[in-house]
Structure 1
Amino acid sequence: MNDSQWTIGIVILVLVSFILVGLKQKARESMEYGFGGRYTGRIGGGAAIASNWMSAASLMGLAGLIYLNGYQALAYVAGWTGGYVLLLVLLASQIRRFGKFTAPDFVGERYGSPAARFLTAVICIAISVIYCVAQFKGIGMIFSFLFGIDYRHGVIYGGLAVISYLVLSGALGVPRNQQLLYFVIITSFIVPLMWLAHRLGYFWLLPQFSYGEAVGDLARQYRIDFAAPFNSGSVYEWCALCFTLMVGTAGLPHVLSRFYTVPNLRDARWSVVWGLFFIALVYWSAPAYAVFGKLIEARMGHVLPPAAARSMADIIVLKTAVLSGVPGWLAGILAAGALSAAFFTVAGLLMTGAASVSFDLYYRVFHPQASELSRMKVAKGATLALGGIVLLLALNPPGLIAEITAVAFALAGNTIFPLLLLGIWWGRANDDGAVAGMLVGVVCTFAQPLFGSLSPTVAALFPLTSSALCGAPLVILVMIAVSLATPPPPEQMRRFLASEVHGHLG
């Protein structure tokens, strides 16, 4: 077999293994289909959180942005990692104590408003769609790279594969499957990186700590300074992006649902701690790929102009492996990990969106008498519909993988995060404040494309990928003002928050 055949063979072997696991654990209830299923321990829960989080943005997009922008792109690393710390401190155990399965279910129960539940469900679906577009782009680029086809055909074939599998097995959100996924991801990402570090002459046992020498070599030998801060953006842009990704992480619907697969509060917190550790292993590795890729190009005299570099940034991890001459089987392992991450993130997001349609809209709002069987049918139909919408949007993606993903985080940070924060920690927050806050949050998220041409100040303060630095505080102020100007929530809910959610603090 030649290198190309080895690469494709390894990818197919890994995906077939997931198909077998998925079929074995086929979900037959809406609870498993939408919300993740069985408990597997603190470390297992952490692995499930990490695999639920690892996506094309983490394994491909992050390295691509660091390759392009150096220090400026570290806002993604700090924001995404710091978001889990924020989630651990402010929301994880409190959400678990409240006892609702989804963000719309929490909002509907906490604020006692069908309108707030409906609006939250629509926002969750929008977040899932935007996030999936980025993952579909990653899948399309990997299929194009593997099979030598154009991007559009890669998106179509890859999208059809993931949608078909999701409808067939319906178990991609089950934690045991996600533990297997995390093992595949971490192995496929770190083993080739060790090979790269050894090939380039750096300490290979811990390449995450040795690529700093490569950064120095780039600066000394080729005058490429990866460590210079704010060369490709301002301090405000860095801080705004970092903050947006942090609060967006704490508000992502498919991350929040993971806290309901644990039996107690202590395990919920420790699952997040373990998940943060597993996520950090990948985030420590992505910058190394970017630096090694830039160094290999410089040594070969192939430093690309900005436009060409941007066009291939999302595939820089695989490109670096190929340029360094890794064996075909090792390139296959790397491609399999990246494809698996994108593949399963899409599946988890589509299932979250489908759960919002079947449970939060169809069952909770429109048809409270619906049977479990009918809810399951609606969920599978919604999966197909959402997958089709994402596939069409991904044919002409509006940006790089991580940039598209950041828009989903901005929407979550401007809408769901303030609702959760005030809903848990301020008993006076009411339904009118929740609805007003979400509407303002949606406007803040899309202020740049809507009003940026009319007002440069709006465009500067509310960048599409970084709008929550100004947007989230504004939404919180609106929620407080509207809540104080309207009747308070029922006393029963305020007593429940004091006794059940915060009673341990007394």
Structure 2
Amino acid sequence: MNDSSWSIFVVLLVLLSFILVGLRQKARESQEYGFGGRFTGRIGGGAAIASNWMSAASLMGLAGIIYLHGYQGLAYVIGWTGGYVLLLVLLASQIRRFGKFTTPEFVGERYGSRPARLIAAVISIAISVIYCVAQFKGIGLIFSFMFGLGYEQGVTYGALAVVSYLVISGVLGVPRNQQLQYLVICVAFIVPLMWLARRLGYFWVLPQFGYGRALTDLWREFRIDFTLPFADDSLFQWCALCFTLMVGTGGLPHVLSRFYTVPNVRDARWSVVWGLFFIALVYWSAPAFAVFGRLIEARRGMIPSPEAARAAADVVTLNTAVAAGLPGWLVGVLAAGALSAAFFTVAGLLMTGASSISHDIYYSFLNPRASERARMQVAKGGTLVLAALVLIIALDPPGLIAEITAVAFALAGNTIFPLFLLGIWWDRANRYGAIAGMLTGVLCTVAQPVFGGTFPAVAALFPVTSSALCGTPLVILVMIAVSLATPPPPEEMRSFLEQEVHGHMD
């Protein structure tokens, strides 16, 4: 077989293995449809969290944004990893003690409000759709790369493959399959990087540390400085993006749901610690791919224009592997890792959105007497509807993979994160504050595209990919002010927070 055939063969082999695992653990209850209800130990839970987190943004978009902006792109690395530290310190154990299974369910129970639960469900669906658009773009680019298709054809065939995968395998978010996925991603991302570093003559045993010489060579040979801070954007924009990604991590519904399935608080904490370690292994590798890609281009006399560099950024990992002359099977391994990450992230996001449609909207509001079978049918139908909506948007994506993903984080950080933060740590927060906070958060997220043309200061303070630096504190202040101006929550809830959520150490 030629190199292209080897790549396709490896990708299909990996996807087949996921289908077989998915068939063995296919979920048959709508309550599991969306987060998978099995716990597999602290390390296994950490691997499940990491695989739930790894996506096309991690394996393609992150390297692409660093390839374009150098130091500025490290805001994504710091923000996404720092967000898990924030989760560990502020939310993980408390969410487990509270004991609700979805973000809208937590909001409805904590704030005692059906309208608040409905708004939270709609926001969760919106976050899932935006996040999925970035993943669909990644899938489309990989299909285009492997099969020599145009982008529109690639994303269409990729969407069909994802939906078929969901129909065949059921819930792909169950932890056993997620652990297999993380193993594939880790091997697929790090082994080609080691091979690449060795071929270029750099320290390959730990290429995440050895690519420093490549940075020096870029500057010495071509005067390309990847380490110059704030060359493309300001310090404010860097800090705003970093903060947005951190609080957005603390508000992503499909990430928060992972803590509901652990048996105790201690396991919730340790699952996050292990998850952070597994995530860091991959995130340390993305800058190396970006630097090696720039170095190979420069040594070949190919200094792309800004427009050409932006067009190629999202596939820099694959292009770098091919340009360096890696064997076809190894390029296939790299493509398989990126594709499986995007597949699983899409599956988890679509099912999170479908769970909100089925459980938090249909069952809770429209038909409380719905049977298990009816709820499952609604969930599956919701998955197909959301997939179709995402495909329509992904046919003409509004930005790079990492940029689109950052918008989802901004929405989560401006809406869901303040609800959990105050809902857990301030017993005076009430339903009126929650509703006012979520609506304010939505306005902060869309401020630049909606109001930025008329009010330039709004666009400067609330950039669409990093609006949470100003938005999250504003939402928290609104929630506090409205809660203090309206009746307090029921005494039963305040007692529950004091006694069950904060009343014991474990």
TM-score by structure 1 length? 0.99
Deviation track 1:161-200 (CA, whole Å, cap 9, x = no partner) reads 1011112221201000000000000000000000000000
Provide the rounded CA distance (Å) in 1 between the counterparts of 2:65 and 2:290: 8
Tell me, yes or no, if structure 1 residue 475 matches structure 2 residue 475.
Answer: yes
Alignment of 1:286-301 (within 5 A): 286-301=286-301
Counterpart residue type for residue 320 of structure 1: T
- Counterpart of 1:251? 251
- Counterpart of 1:373? 373
Provide the rounded CA distance (Å) in 1 between the counterparts of 2:457 and 2:79: 24
Cα offset, 1:505, TM superposition: 5.5
Deviation track 1:34-81 (CA, whole Å, cap 9, x = no partner) reads 221211000000000000000000000000000000000100000000
Provide the rounded CA distance (Å) in 2 between the counterparts of 1:90 and 1:241: 20
Provide the rounded CA distance (Å) in 1 between the counterparts of 2:457 and 2:367: 45
Taking only the aligned residue pairs, the percentage that are identical comes to 77
- Counterpart of 2:271? 271
Tell me, yes or no, if structure 1 residue 160 matches structure 2 residue 144.
Answer: no
Tell me, yes or no, if structure 1 residue 314 matches structure 2 residue 314.
Answer: yes
SS in 2 for 1:51: helix
SS in 1 for 2:173: coil
Alignment of 1:438-453 (within 5 A): 438-453=438-453
- Counterpart of 1:335? 335
- Counterpart of 2:197? 197
- Does structure 1 retain, via aligned residues, the 8 Å contact 2:35–2:348? no
- Counterpart of 2:106? 106
SS in 1 for 2:504: helix
Deviation track 1:128-173 (CA, whole Å, cap 9, x = no partner) reads 0000000000000000000000000000000011011112221201
- Counterpart of 2:121? 121
Provide the rounded CA distance (Å) in 1 between the counterparts of 2:262 and 2:449: 41
- Counterpart of 2:30? 30
- Does structure 2 retain, via aligned residues, the 8 Å contact 1:37–1:173? no
Tell me, yes or no, if structure 1 residue 132 matches structure 2 residue 132.
Answer: yes
Provide the rounded CA distance (Å) in 2 between the counterparts of 1:313 and 1:256: 30
Cα offset, 1:344, TM superposition: 0.8
Tell me, yes or no, if structure 1 residue 51 matches structure 2 residue 51.
Answer: yes
- Counterpart of 2:389? 389
Alignment of 1:345-384 (within 5 A): 345-384=345-384
Counterpart residue type for residue 226 of structure 1: F
Cα offset, 1:367, TM superposition: 1.6
- Counterpart of 2:232? 232
- Does structure 1 retain, via aligned residues, the 8 Å contact 2:414–2:444? yes
SS in 1 for 2:16: helix
Counterpart residue type for residue 169 of structure 1: S
Give the count of matched residue pairs. Answer: 506
Question: Structure 1, unaligned stretches of length 5 or more?
Answer: none
Cα offset, 1:7, TM superposition: 0.6
Counterpart residue type for residue 379 of structure 2: A
Counterpart residue type for residue 37 of structure 2: G
Over aligned residues, Cα RMSD in angstroms? 0.8
Counterpart residue type for residue 400 of structure 1: L
- Does structure 1 retain, via aligned residues, the 8 Å contact 2:34–2:171? no
- Counterpart of 1:407? 407
- Counterpart of 2:302? 302
SS in 1 for 2:225: coil
Provide the rounded CA distance (Å) in 1 between the counterparts of 2:212 and 2:154: 35
SS in 2 for 1:504: coil
TM-score by structure 2 length? 0.99
- Does structure 2 retain, via aligned residues, the 8 Å contact 1:131–1:408? yes
Provide the rounded CA distance (Å) in 1 between the counterparts of 2:322 and 2:309: 16
Tell me, yes or no, if structure 1 residue 261 matches structure 2 residue 261.
Answer: yes
Counterpart residue type for residue 66 of structure 1: I
Question: Structure 2, unaligned stretches of length 5 or more?
Answer: none
- Counterpart of 2:466? 466
Counterpart residue type for residue 299 of structure 2: R
Counterpart residue type for residue 347 of structure 1: A
Counterpart residue type for residue 167 of structure 1: V
Counterpart residue type for residue 375 of structure 1: R
Provide the rounded CA distance (Å) in 2 between the counterparts of 1:96 and 1:479: 23
- Counterpart of 1:207? 207
Provide the rounded CA distance (Å) in 1 between the counterparts of 2:308 and 2:503: 57
- Does structure 1 retain, via aligned residues, the 8 Å contact 2:134–2:404? yes
